[in-house]
Structure 1
Amino acid sequence: RDLLAKLLVNLTRSHDGVLSQAELVKGFESVLSTLEDAVNDAPKAPEFLGRIFGKMVVEDVISMKEIGRLILEGGEEAGQIVEIGLGGDVMGSTLGMIKTEKGESVLNEIRGSSCLRLEDFRPSHPNRSRILETFL
């Protein structure tokens, strides 16, 4: 997982333009659209994806605001992964990765500049994301 994140960072930053930011975002949209199915085979998929997203943010490849948008709109249908509770797990893992890599002060700075409301990543039903709740 960490090597995959590093590869994506390097491909996006390469001077040859191997992978554009738009292509990276499109790829993440595709992954999020199949996340619900992936969880059946890989229950930790939301956490792994969140760690990749966190690496993209700390390496300044994609903004936290863009990651938030991807998660909020993600799923087979727009907003579906948040509604079923997976969006909170992805966001919580993203925040956890940033905190681990850069510390709490940088995490707070990134959160503040993104203008994201973490409450928006909670599903409407009582199944809350235990990962996201640690940041609320």
Structure 2
Amino acid sequence: MQTVIIIIHLLIVLSLVGVVLLQRSEGGIGMGAGGGGGGGGPGGFMTGRGSASALTRATAILAAAFFATSLTLAILAGQASQPTSVFDAPGGLTAPPAQPGEEAPDGAGPGILEQLQRQQGDEPDSPQVPQSR
């Protein structure tokens, strides 16, 4: 889905660049100023006012489509990367407890909650953890 919208977005971008480059500049020398391509005679494809309004309308439509595809891509990107919580992970913040008779791996001691409970004496039969100061 996202790939299709990106391709449509790129086609809109290329079309928008082309339409903007076809427009006549306000400052003087535009695409039609030299070589007789712009204001042509009555037999020209598009005359002054008709081409300006058609190109302006096409620019507005392409700009709206560009905005819509940009917004859609931003929403899809936001949904694809939902933030995760450490509380949702199996095991939470602590490592799984060691089984009786099995040594705990290095660095996998009791979690913070167990250490705080031991310091306050909530578990009378558990060994006290020495405090480092």
TM-score over 0.5 (shorter chain): no
Which structure's CA Rg is the greater one? 2
TM band (smaller chain): under 0.3
The TM-score, its normalising length taken from structure 1, stands at: 0.25
The TM-score, its normalising length taken from structure 2, stands at: 0.25
Higher helix share: 1
